[in-house]
Amino acid sequence: MTGLLTGAPRLLLLGAGDLYDAIGRLLGMPARPGSTTAYLSAHAALYQACLTGAAAFLIIGVPVTVAVARRRRRSRRARAVQVTPQSGLVRAAMARVTPAVAGHATRADIRDELSIAACRDSAARTRPQMSPAQIRAAAPGEVGIPLPYTAGGQLWAPFLNPTGTIAPTQSGKSRRWLCQICIDAPGAMLCSTTKPDLLELSALARTRRPSAGPVLVFDLTGTTTWPAQLPWSPLHGCRDQQQAWATAKRLVNAAATSIEAGGGRGAGNDRVFRQRAIGVVGAYLLAAAHAPTSSENSSTGLERVAAWAADRAAAREAVTILTNHPAYRHLGAALNAELAMVAETADAVWLSVRRALEPFSDPRIHAMCTIDPAHSYDVTTFIAAGGALYLIAEEDDVAAIPILTTIVDEWIAAARALALTRPGRRLDPPATAVLDELPSATPVPGLPASQADSAGRGVLIHWAAQSRSQLDTVYGNRARDLIENSTVFIVWGGIKDDDTLSWLSKIIGDRVQNRHTHPTSGLLTGDRAGSYTTERVPIYTPADIRTLPRGEVLVIYRHLLVIRATTIDAYQRADAHQLRADVTTIENGDIPIDPHGYPTHRR
């Protein structure tokens, strides 16, 4: 640098001779003429300034440069890049030469179980109506479930796998994963959530799918203006006794979810009276469906049911309706006996009755559900048509939870029943239920049990919760079954509950680590001394799991070792421009959808 600034005739390099000159200078001897040392001595002030600057750069500049480089590298890793065929090829090539991290699933494991190839191999079973040529040409979302990304590309799970995820609030699970499932689900789709994000990101995309069914919305938050609202009445089909009792059971059990907390401990008496309450509510629904219309009583069927639940004296009308019907006289007598029970017993039964029917007194729910039962949507027809249904309510909305839970339970049961009528006893294409914020939005009571064989019928259930304790509060010991039956289990960073973190660290497992011990004093020290041993250490400690960077997840799949993966935001998909336009369209309220849930430009 000194030579450049002074215009030296040659490149100034320090050699062994300059070392002797420097020592001689210290002893008072002159430097050799023409040497580098002599030249620098002639420009001592400038040389010292350059030396000081170089030292400052090494002390300050290098650490700052390294820190900036690390920050950029972390930023690039956390920010998922838009996936293109070219970037996928590059990533796959790099993955082939990069060894798997110890304790993690190998590339061969992932290729065999969670790849597009694995999905196409299983499609002969999961998509029986598709020919081999159609399977080979199908888009990935037609044969598999989209999962996060690894170095080798995106993971895809065959349509045999229900999924579950634990993601703390504001972790981004809706935008970075669940919306991908909502968009790509090939058949009928149900989505329950506490915010309109999933609707805004995926609803219009659903209408653009080939042979798309209607897209309906049941929004109790009033934040969206989707033109096609779900026409649902609890009285639909209740002229049939079996259907009336099925709806009653869903309403009563959905309203008692909090009572069943802790696996039902302390709820034994309530459960006994609940069985009797199902009979009462079923009789009310049946009577309301058969109630004669007259100018003297202009009440709707739902208003009658609400009135009977609030006043046992008014419920005598239901007894009269059933008694006057030749096929239901015995039910009228049974209802009359319940009404005549001693106060202690009757009060316990009517507590469950009121708990189940009280939500219909909420003005929002009353307005949306007070329709002619004949005009209520038929859930089986809706699923067969490949329709998409969005249910939206605030988290912990006491009035909304039983109603939305009933609708979800009815949808899952109808999909499972419909599968039994199809070739191979499974739906093709499969039906998909995305249950965001499951414990606080739609805690379907029988989900841990029904999830076990739903995927085998082509009914895929994907649930999300903020914590394991939420699941324990709602399902008690059955929460273990829910997690156990979720063959794809995804964990996000930010979890703070030490029990959950310790449990996750334990089920992820250990790895073998080499350990070198050596003495620090004595004659034999250094690399040649000491001994080598092995020890088992956690693949992920609780702290490792808690501090996962935003957007990174751990995927636990069946028998495989853990997989560390990265999620992408919805706006980093290849169709991000279209999704942004969809969100703007829905926010502006000028939505090109007719009242039946189809695009207005449909021919």
Q: pLDDT digits over 492-532, tens only?
A: 999 999 999 999 999 999 988 877 676 665 555 555 556 77
Separation in Å, CA 277 to CA 180, 253, 256, 421: 41, 10, 11, 32
- Residue 502 or residue 96, greater confidence: 502
What residues contact 20, with CB distance under 8 A and at least 6 apart? none
- Beta strands 563-566 and 510-517 are unpaired
- Residue 20 or residue 314, greater confidence: 314
Per-residue model confidence (pLDDT) at position 380? 96
Residue 191 binned pLDDT confidence (cut-offs 50, 70, 90): very high
Per-residue model confidence (pLDDT) at position 274? 87
Question: Which range has the top average pLDDT, 7-16, 70-79, 395-404?
Answer: 395-404
Per-residue model confidence (pLDDT) at position 82? 40
- Give yes or no for residue 388 having a pLDDT over 70: yes
Per-residue model confidence (pLDDT) at position 89? 47
Helix, strand, coil content of the chain in percent (nearest 5): 50, 15, 35
Mean pLDDT of 69-81: 52
Q: What's the one-letter identity of residue 338?
A: E
- Beta strands 144-150 and 531-538 are unpaired
pLDDT over 90 for what percent of the chain?
A: 64
Say if residues 406 and 233 touch (Cβ distance below 8 Å).
no
> Cα angle vertex 580, ends 159, 156, to 5°?
20
Alpha-carbon Rg of the chain, whole angstroms?
34
Helix (H) or strand (E) holding 218: strand 215-219
Residue 24 binned pLDDT confidence (cut-offs 50, 70, 90): low
List the alpha helices (DSSP H) in 291-429.
301-310, 316-323, 329-339, 343-357, 363-369, 379-384, 400-419
Per-residue model confidence (pLDDT) at position 56? 72
- Give yes or no for residue 75 having a pLDDT over 60: no
Per-residue model confidence (pLDDT) at position 106? 94
Mean pLDDT taken over the chain: 85
In this structure, of 6-10, 11-15, 91-95, 185-189, the range with the lowest mean pLDDT score is: 91-95
Per-residue model confidence (pLDDT) at position 101? 81
Separation in Å, CA 538 to CA 29, 166, 230, 530, 577: 65, 20, 49, 25, 42
Per-residue model confidence (pLDDT) at position 78? 40
List the alpha helices (DSSP H) in 461-575.
468-475, 478-484, 498-508, 542-546
Quick one: CA dihedral 312, 405, 226, 382, positive or negative?
negative
- Which residues in 369-390 are b (16+ Cβ under 10 Å) and which e? bebebeebbebeebbbebbbbb
Per-residue model confidence (pLDDT) at position 32? 62
Per-residue model confidence (pLDDT) at position 162? 96
Torsion-angle region of 246 (φ positive above 0: left; ψ -120 to 50: alpha; else: beta) = alpha
The pLDDT tens digits of the residues spanning 412-438 come to: 999 999 999 999 899 999 999 999 999
Per-residue model confidence (pLDDT) at position 203? 97
- Residue 58 or residue 506, greater confidence: 506
Say if residues 182 and 202 touch (Cβ distance below 8 Å).
yes
Question: Which range has the top average pLDDT, 55-59, 61-65, 401-405?
Answer: 401-405
Alpha carbon 5 to its chain centroid, in Å, reads 63
The pLDDT tens digits of the residues spanning 471-499 come to: 999 998 899 999 999 999 999 999 999 99
Residue 85 binned pLDDT confidence (cut-offs 50, 70, 90): very low
What residues contact 378, with CB distance under 8 A and at least 6 apart? 236
Per-residue model confidence (pLDDT) at position 27? 55
Residue 84 binned pLDDT confidence (cut-offs 50, 70, 90): very low
- Give yes or no for residue 48 having a pLDDT over 90: no
Residue 265 binned pLDDT confidence (cut-offs 50, 70, 90): very low
Say if residues 224 and 199 touch (Cβ distance below 8 Å).
yes
Per-residue model confidence (pLDDT) at position 213? 94
In this prediction the pTM is: 0.81
E strand residue ranges, 558-595: 563-566
How far, in Å, CA of 181 to CA of 186, rounded? 9
Show the tokens assigned to 160.
Answer: 């045999």
Which of the 8 DSSP states describes residue 537? E
Residue 264 binned pLDDT confidence (cut-offs 50, 70, 90): very low
Say if residues 188 and 213 touch (Cβ distance below 8 Å).
yes
Say if residues 228 and 368 touch (Cβ distance below 8 Å).
no
Per-residue model confidence (pLDDT) at position 79? 41
The pLDDT tens digits of the residues spanning 118-150 come to: 999 999 999 999 999 999 999 999 999 999 999
Helix (H) or strand (E) holding 145: strand 144-150
Per-residue model confidence (pLDDT) at position 214? 96
Mean pLDDT of 330-358: 88
Residue 398 binned pLDDT confidence (cut-offs 50, 70, 90): confident
How far, in Å, CA of 462 to CA of 560, rounded? 20
Q: What's the one-letter identity of residue 112?
A: D
